[in-house]
Amino acid sequence: MSAENAVAVTVTDTVAVAVVTGAASGIGRATALRLAADGFHVAMMDLDAAGLAATGELVQDAGGRARAFPVDLCDPLAVGSVTREIAVTVGAPELLVNVAGIGVAATVLETSDEDWNRVLAVNLTGPFLTTRAILPLMLDRGTGVIVNIASVAGQVGIPKRAAYCASKAGLVGLTKAVAVDHGHEGIRSVAICPGTVETEWIGKILANAPDPAAARAAMSARQLDGRMGTPEEIAALVAFLAGPDGRFVNGTALIADGGMTAA
């Protein structure tokens, strides 16, 4: 591991610490709120400083503890620096939840070099960087849980989502590799593969559709119960995996898609 990612601290905070990326909105925000409600002190990482501040206010209004750390998750030096700051000011994390992600609607032939690199950077390189920075702190404790929010698009092909599918499949592979390498050292690494979840990102896709109502109906119909999932439902699964009831789950990808991939 490179020197800029090495962290050495003395942990003084007895409150369990969770790091959540992409906490400015959507599944990341719901996860931060749920983990704070469960007693974690949540360190929130995202490029969107205003969104992080809004999430922090929601956490505090609910009686929880959270602190915002605006950061470019694709920048190795920045991720290493913020990790050191989290370790010193909040505590050594025992839970890392990688949520931050983006997508581009395009086939391979339609995907530009720029879009390909951007999607892979956020969806795969970002989780790699946070894992590389935070994992040594978990190893020092002898325990830790890493939850990566992948997608059903990492399990099956989704039309016009070539870069997204590739990035999420890679994230599932990274998840399993970490478990194999470090499971015997007390580390659990698990991926969650949601189906269609009603987030701000989905809202933008629907708003830009020629017929938003028809697009919403089509997205909802992909699930067997005819509705999209909620960020809170995915956050609840994260909470399960982070807790003692999830301790036998490691090195796998859990699909939470309302039956979308059952057929």
Q: Give the residue numbers annotated as catalytic, written as ranges.
A: 164
Q: Which of 62, 43, 61 is nearest to 52 (CA)?
A: 43
Q: For residue 38, what is the DSSP state?
A: T
**Residue 217 to residues 209, 213, 228: CA-CA distances in angstroms?**
12, 6, 10
How many CB atoms lie under 10 A from the CB of residue 158?
A: 17
Greatest pairwise CA separation for the chain in angstroms:
56
CA angle 220, 225, 228 (to 5 degrees): 35
Query: Residue 57 region, left (φ>0) first, then alpha (ψ -120 to 50), else beta?
Result: alpha
Q: How far apart are the first and last CA of the chain?
A: 43
